Structure 1
């Protein structure tokens, strides 16, 4: 039985401040009512949705089938946002590159347009991701009263309260606050190593390292994680064949250069 969502307290942040100022470009943009919108309106909504979720999406990252459903009125803006969050592009570019805690910051900022309410909300939603996966967390936020009251079925989420009247400067745009991946993914990738004689350790140097499960510093080789793309201690067959082909061609070229040089030296000596 899954655990219920943990309770947490809200914190003070710009997104909770109601604005009574004259409208500006920082205010939430209201989408045209109804599902029958002009092609120009649909183009604008789609571009804003991609920008909110990915900040920038290349042509190859776009989901033509999902866009077609949205343009034809088969799904609402909220369901279009859901499709982008569960797309292979988001899973590979964000979900795969972050811990559950970091994913909470990513999803809350993109879906609800605000920061996380401290470690309490971060812990509660990270447990939800561990239990129900990315889809469970996305559905919980998109079906929440906060999202429906703020954006409804038709509006594209956006960062709220980035600039408040009377403040000399506003908050950074969310895409600058939360980059696609952090040192967590960089460090995990740096520990990957080829299989074979280096399997399981990084053999150079004797840098002390933490023994797993203890607070003891141990000298010697540092354990590393073997790349999952290598099977049975061997690289992919295509990579191996290409490497062997390159090695064979290099050897033939080296022999040709040596024979050519030797022939030139002999011809020069006989001519003298």
Structure 2
């Protein structure tokens, strides 16, 4: 029996505040089929969808059938996003290696373009995953009023309002602050890995590097000469010394009565 979605209160995230400032280079680029005028524009839109859902897609992870349907106008961008989130690649990378709570958190970030409001929202969507499965959970996200009002059928989801005029830095991208694997699987896979170097490498600016004829270039050669060992007599054990062969000085002392 499928349970209804629990109520959760939205928090005051900046994604809920309408933008009023002048656009900058840090603003997210909006990719939409309404502005596609060439094949290159469609390629950029498809790669933007891969970056949003997978962060990066190798050639073996691409969905050729979905791409062909999108290019030919058989499916919308919303249906293309649905196919990516329900793909085997997404299931293996996010669902199989995480708990339902973390799977919900990462999917909300990628599909709705914002962080989860609270733990109550994670619990609410986790119940949906447990009762309706991943397909039912994805369908409810894509059919939600928030998704339709923000992205509709033609816009690729993006991280909303990454920068604010009142902040020195914008919000950190989701792929940097939310690792793909949970803490347990990061420990199993050996992440993070510490790389030790035998020697310390130091960068020397070009203007501080020794020129030809500089005495410092011969410092290594001088040290090697000073550390070279000279000839020394071999060590002989005292047990192998022949006392008869040892020269000694005889004293001419008369022997007799005083």
Do they superpose with TM above 0.5? yes
Range 162-171 or range 82-91, more displaced? 162-171
Q: How does 1:135-214 map to 2 (within 5 A)?
A: 135-187=135-187
1:106 aligns with 2:102: no
Q: Could you tell me whether the CA contact under 8 Å between 2:151 and 2:157 is conserved in 1?
A: yes
What TM-score do the two structures reach when normalised by structure 2? 0.70
Listed as ranges, the matches of 1:48-127 within 5 Å are: 48-127=48-127
| CA deviation profile, 1:91-141 (whole Å, cap 9, x unmatched) | 111111110000111110000100001011100000100111111111111
Structure 2 counterpart SS, 1:97 = coil
Alpha-carbon distance in 2 for matches of 1:33, 1:87: 25
Distance of 1:71 and 1:108 partners within structure 2: 26
Give the drift of 1:24.
2.7
RMSD of aligned alpha carbons: 1.7
Which has the larger share of strand?
1
Please give the per-residue CA displacement for 1:173-197, whole angstroms capped at 9, x wherever unaligned: 111111111213245679xxxxxxx
- The separation in 2 between residues aligned to 1:37 and 1:80, in whole angstroms, is 19
Q: How many residues align?
A: 189
In structure 1, stretches of 5+ residues that fail to align are 191-272
Deviation at 1:31, TM superposition (A): 1.7
Q: Hey, what's the Cα distance between the residues in 1 that align with 2:74 and 2:41?
A: 16
SS at the partner of 2:102? helix
Question: d(CA) in 2 for partners of 1:30 and 1:19?
Answer: 18
- Secondary structure of the residue aligned to 1:94 is helix
- Normalised by the length of structure 1, the TM-score is 0.66
CA distance in 1, matches of 2:188, 2:121: 26
Divergent runs of 4+, >4 A: 187-190
Greater Rg over alpha carbons, structure: 2
Whether the 8 Å CA contact 2:162–2:172 is kept in 1: the answer is: yes
Gaps of at least 5 residues in structure 2 are 191-258
